[in-house]
Amino acid sequence: MSKSEVTTPKETKKPKKAATTEFKKIIRVAEADLDGNKKLEHGLTAIKGIGWSYANAIRKAIGFENKKIADLSGEEIAKIKDCLENPEKFGIPEWVLNRRKDRRTGSNFHLLSSSLILANNMDVKRLKIIKCYKGVRHISITKLGGREHAPAVRT
């Protein structure tokens, strides 16, 4: 074969399809990335500090159906963010909140992500300083309580 007979395939450019519906794969809420393929309740549990009961309370307080996160509009996502920042404004019951009757302020609120980690570390540090039972157990890095399990080896 001569050089003139060898042909290389030409790169064909495919025409871009017009995006009728914008699919959001990842949505950033409260310092966490939410998967767009998951439903709202399940996706909200990816945020540190939100469990199943709190995610369900948020969904019911806002009045959304349990649809995929990717299908939410920008206004709906903004409403979710507002509900996470001000749960009392949306009528979420206080028994769902993770910080009831705070030691410093005496108020009820819900902490998320890094502020939850910081508050937890400060609580443990306070227990260590006052040297209560739990604080002493934290200092000595032993288990804090609960059931003592039988040894692993049985005869």
pLDDT above 80: residue 18: no
pLDDT at 118: 92
Name the average pLDDT for the chain.
81
Fold of 26-96: Helicase, Ruva Protein; domain 3 (1.10.8)
Closest CA to 27 of 98, 86, 82, 76: 76
Closest CA to 48 of 116, 119, 113: 113
pTM, two decimals, is: 0.68
**CB–CB of 36/30 below 8 Å?**
no
Give the integer Cα–Cα distance in Å for 118 and 45: 19
pLDDT at 148: 64
pLDDT digits (tens, 9 = 90+) for 56-71: 999 999 988 888 888 8
**Better-predicted residue by pLDDT, 154 or 142:** 142
The one-letter code for the residue type at 7 is: T
pLDDT digits (tens, 9 = 90+) for 118-131: 998 998 899 899 99
- From the number of C-beta atoms within 10 Å of its C-beta (0-12, 13-18, 19+), residue 84 rates as buried
**Better-predicted residue by pLDDT, 15 or 114:** 114
Domain chopping of the chain, boundaries: 26-96, 112-145
**CB–CB of 57/92 below 8 Å?**
yes
Q: Which of 11-25, 73-87, 125-139 has the lowest mean pLDDT?
A: 11-25
